[in-house]
Structure 1
Amino acid sequence: MAERGPNFIVAAAIVHKTQILLARRYQPELPEAHLKWELPGGKVKLEESPNDALIREIYEELGTEIRIVRLLPHVQSNIYHFKKGIVHSVVLAFESVITRGGLPPHVAEKAVQQVLWVSKNELNDFDLLPGTEQFIKC
């Protein structure tokens, strides 16, 4: 079994008034995450800063530009055992606001099936990817 990693992942806790934006992942090849709700974001590329990666990922996924407000005080570390090998992912999340491109629900990328604005008291109504709620509570 091959080992890979760590993968560095960035996520945006995009806030508008009293709501936060959730994205529903479309990834049938990864049943553990397929159709689960999460904060939008993605992988940090080689030689890319986490901030630049997040700005790029949000634009690619949602067609929206953001401004990063702050790094959230929680780091998530996950180890996944797949048929192809073991993957270690480290996730950082940033509180962010939309600066241009309008308020989604616009989806620009196939990996995101749907986006919704939700209040914190609605989170229990969604099948969240593990760790998502901890970031939102920050």
Structure 2
Amino acid sequence: MKMPTHIVAVGGIVEDHQGNVLLVKTKDGGWVFPGGQVEVGESLTDALIREIKEESGIDVKVGHLIGIYSNTGIHKWYDGVTDVPTKVMLDFVCEPMGGELAVSDETTDSRWIPKDEVLEFITADAIQTRYKAYLEHTGDIKYMDYLTHPTFQIKQNRSI
């Protein structure tokens, strides 16, 4: 029996006390809120703390879960060759605890953006949709199943 392959990833909406949200500019995907893949043997929160620090230079405290997202479409990676399997992403609200803005091998810029201007920076439909879920968060957890290729399509959208 072949075991299924999924990518598990985490995203962090980091908002400071002045109402700014942390964004990073990736080399391949434009402006996003920081996050990434959970490594083997790593907890979700440890992965998120590590990814945010690596991508932006900012130390965070992970708060509450706000969304669970499934990208159930299989598509090619930026290299045009590698298949990207189903991805499960969990978004958390985070609080900045220190550090200095920086870049990494994956990012070319990191900035604090006023909360109401973030959508002017984010161009990817899936990331915009997940950020809008943060803006509309009322305490429930959002679950969404979507495809990103060939075009963005929401298959399921509900609260859990």
- The bucket for the TM-score relative to the shorter chain is 0.7 to 0.9
Aligned to 1:101: 99
d(CA) in 1 for partners of 2:43, 2:51: 12
Aligned to 2:42: 48
The one of 59, 62, 65 aligned to 1:65: 59
d(CA) in 2 for partners of 1:59, 1:51: 12
Q: Unmatched 5+ residue regions in structure 2?
A: 135-160
After TM superposition, the score normalised by the length of structure 2 is: 0.69
d(CA) in 1 for partners of 2:52, 2:111: 14
Aligned to 1:30: none
Identity value in percent: 27
Equivalences, count: 124
d(CA) in 2 for partners of 1:25, 1:43: 14
Aligned to 2:126: 131
Q: Larger C-alpha radius of gyration, 1 or 2? A: 2
Q: Unmatched 5+ residue regions in structure 1?
A: 28-32
CA gap 1:115/1:6 in 2 versus in 1, 3 angstroms = same
Query: More relative contact order in 1 or in 2 (CA 8 Å, sep 6+)?
Result: 1
The one of 108, 111, 116 aligned to 2:111: 116
Q: Which consecutive aligned stretches of 4+ in structure 1 deviate over 6 angstroms post-superposition?
A: none
After TM superposition, the score normalised by the length of structure 1 is: 0.78
CA gap 1:60/1:77 in 2 versus in 1, 3 angstroms = same
CA gap 1:26/1:71 in 2 versus in 1, 3 angstroms = same
CA gap 1:97/1:134 in 2 versus in 1, 3 angstroms = same
